[in-house]
Amino acid sequence: MTTPLLERYLADLDSRGYAGSTRRRKTSSIRSFFFFLYRHGYIENSIAERLIPPRTEQKQPRVLTENEYKRLLRACAHETRDAAIIEVLLQTGIRLSELTRLTLNDIELPARIKRDPNTVGLLRVRGGKGRKDRTLPLNYKACKALRAYLKIRPRVEYDNLFISKFREPLGPRGVQKMAQKYLERLEFKALPSTA
């Protein structure tokens, strides 16, 4: 076995459409295997050490079209909690992990919610990317959806903003399942998940 042969194998994986992350894992496995063979004396040198792992591609997130956005909001309009979650995600762009860490103290809604651009709510996001806290504005739609949800939010011992039907804090997987339900119902092309 030679290095060019291993490189041809990785090139073949690329031509068959394997993602960079998959090819990186395979490269790592090959290198580990050859290092094992070398360390135990089965081969004279570890030819795989010269293999250069491919880069992981950075996929651009798929964005909803305006029509898809409106259809999604109509689909979840009868589920107050889901509508609030969808609005907050779409209006702020926060990650699922950030959304599920939100507490009641992290939102500040105006006394009167109106379409005036100077009347906005605030959302404090703790420990986001780079572990930095930040404050984001909440527009009219997000404020309205959150106010409606807060009226029906179950009274529980947790201060997490979003609560599951089991009266427990809603986790990232629960949000993914909820969103996937609407996406499948509307037959949208899959959207990438965000942690």
In Å, how far from its chain's centre is CA 166?
23
Exposed e or buried b per residue across 58-90, where buried means at least 16 C-beta atoms within 10 angstroms of its C-beta: eeeeeeeeeebeebbbebbeeebbbbbbbbbbe
pLDDT of residue 54: 74
Q: Are 150 and 143 in contact (CB under 8 A)?
A: no
41 with 104, same domain: the answer is no
pLDDT of residue 173: 94
pLDDT of residue 131: 66
H helix runs in 77-194, sequence order:
80-92, 96-101, 140-152, 172-185
pLDDT of residue 129: 60
Question: Could you give the CA distance from residue 33 to residue 119 in angstroms, rounded to a whole number?
Answer: 61
* Residue 110 included in any domain: yes
Single-letter amino acid code for the residue at 87: E
pTM here is: 0.66
Q: Which domain holds residue 14?
A: 3-50
41 with 14, same domain: the answer is yes
92 with 179, same domain: the answer is yes
Q: What is the pLDDT along the chain (195 residues), one digit of tens a residue?
A: 567 888 888 888 888 888 888 888 888 888 888 888 888 888 888 777 777 777 766 667 677 888 988 999 999 999 999 999 999 999 998 999 999 999 999 999 998 888 887 778 999 998 756 668 899 999 999 999 999 999 999 999 999 999 999 999 999 999 999 998 998 888 876 554 444
Q: Are 144 and 80 in contact (CB under 8 A)?
A: no
* Residue 86 included in any domain: yes
